[in-house]
């Protein structure tokens, strides 16, 4: 009998790629959507992306902010991939609008999983819970690091990911009753778009291609391909060495300068990348802008800082062999152009 996996937030970017890989590997997949009115659209997106054995996919309505539906969602499941979480990078007026649903939604899913006898939950955290708010140095970030919540440049999204993950580990330690937990912490996620929604760091590529970024700030972005992130989630369900572990998911290359992302797009897409900028924004301008515009503060905090990140645990525990960032960038660009999303 095939094992059953619940994937939360089936309409999402990472969740969609997880569902694709789970179906390919013969799992029975159940996914949550806030309303069953979304089922047909999600099925269409997955079919367009090449989903196989779609009869093995079912949908249940459940919302992270409500208890309703979660017991039914996890019933009979061997594993849960809890991918769904509010995504609001940058400044928000009320941080609790992001933090509370992320933390409380995570605990809601964990309680339901524990009560249903689920073996292991794989939680999508983020590098935002590891590598922000720290002083600039040659330090190599590992799973032992946690974001400094009151450090410079930490936005509501970073706080939400950090607090939700800490709450998850505390719950499993205090109330888990044997429930296993693994957290996956990807860096900036790019790759083939799912449907007509631009998610993750594909938004950076979209803005460049659309000419909405006049110049590049001197920032460096660690990039991982969404297909590798999905592979890590699926592997983490059953890998013996993954239980009880935080696992960073990153490529082998160091963080990529924004201007290099632009250069990659220009090199691969020619005329379609005609609006991609070539100029660099002076650091002083970014710092002045950050004094008046909260959107610039995380950028200003990390100017010229190339973050070094270890992916050793993902390689050892999950057998992950990540793609080069150029593949993620070009796959994102290709899909956005093909779907006329620029």
Contact status, residue 199 vs residue 17, Cβ threshold 8 Å: no
Which residues, 6+ apart, have CB-to-CB distance to 243 below 8 Å?
Answer: 120, 180, 181, 182
CA dist., res. 284 & res. 291, Å (int): 11
Helix (H) or strand (E) holding 233: helix 226-238
Contact 217, 299 (CB under 8 A): yes
Concerning whether 161 is annotated as a catalytic residue, the answer is yes
Q: How far is 2 from 146, CA to CA, in rounded Å?
A: 37
- Geometric angle at alpha carbon 32, from 27 and 71, rounded to 5°: 90
Please answer whether residues 125 and 140 qualify as being in contact, where contact means their C-beta atoms are separated by less than 8 angstroms.
no
Q: Rounded to an integer, what distance in angstroms lies between the CA atom of residue 16 and that of residue 51?
A: 10
Q: Could you tell me which residues come within 8 angstroms of residue 222 by beta carbon, excluding any fewer than 6 positions away?
A: 127, 187, 188, 250, 251, 254, 255, 256, 307, 309
Name the nearest CA neighbour of 161 among 235, 87, 54, 242: 87
Identify the burial level of 119 via C-beta atoms within 10 angstroms of its C-beta, where 0-12 means exposed, 13-18 middle and 19 or more buried. Answer: middle
CB 270, CB 334: distance < 8 Å: no
The residue to which tokens 């905090």 are assigned: 301
Which of 66, 119, 161, 339 is catalytic? The answer is 161
Active site residues: 161
């Amino acid at each position: 009998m095939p094992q059953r996996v619940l994937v939360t937030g089936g309409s999402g970017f990472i969740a969609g790629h997880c569902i694709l890989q789970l179906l390919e590997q013969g799992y029975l997949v159940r996914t949550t959507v806030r309303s069953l009115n979304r089922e047909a659209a999600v099925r269409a997106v997955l079919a367009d992306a090449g989903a196989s054995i779609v009869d093995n996919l079912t949908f249940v309505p459940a919302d992270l902010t409500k208890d309703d539906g979660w017991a039914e969602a996890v019933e009979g499941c061997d594993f849960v991939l809890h991918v769904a979480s509010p995504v609001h990078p940058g400044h928000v007026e009320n941080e609790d609008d992001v933090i509370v649903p992320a933390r409380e939604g995570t605990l809601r899913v964990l309680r339901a999983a524990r009560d249903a006898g689920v073996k292991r939950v794989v939680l999508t955290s983020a590098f935002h819970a590891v590598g922000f708010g720290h002083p600039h140095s040659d330090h190599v970030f590992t799973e032992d690091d946690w974001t400094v919540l009151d450090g410079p440049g930490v936005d509501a999204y970073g706080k939400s990911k950090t607090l939700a993950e800490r709450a998850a580990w505390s719950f499993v330690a205090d109330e888990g009753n044997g429930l296993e937990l693994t957290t996956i912490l990807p860096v900036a996620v790019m790759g083939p778009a799912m449907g007509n929604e631009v998610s993750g760091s594909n938004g950076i590529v979209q803005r460049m291609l659309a000419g909405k970024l006049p110049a590049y700030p001197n920032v460096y972005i660690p990039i991982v391909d969404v297909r590798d992130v999905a592979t890590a989630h699926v592997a983490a369900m059953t890998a013996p060495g993954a239980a009880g572990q935080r696992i960073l998911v990153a490529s082998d290359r160091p963080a990529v300068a924004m201007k290099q992302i632009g250069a990659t797009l220009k090199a691969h897409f020619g005329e379609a990348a005609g609006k991609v900028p070539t100029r660099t924004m002076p650091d002083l301008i970014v710092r002045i802008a950050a004094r008046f515009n909260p959107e610039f503060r995380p950028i200003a905090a990390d100017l010229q800082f190339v973050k070094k990140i270890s992916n050793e645990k993902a390689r050892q525990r999950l057998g992950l062999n990540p793609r080069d960032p150029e593949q993620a960038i070009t796959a994102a660009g290709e899909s956005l152009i093909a779907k006329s999303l620029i």
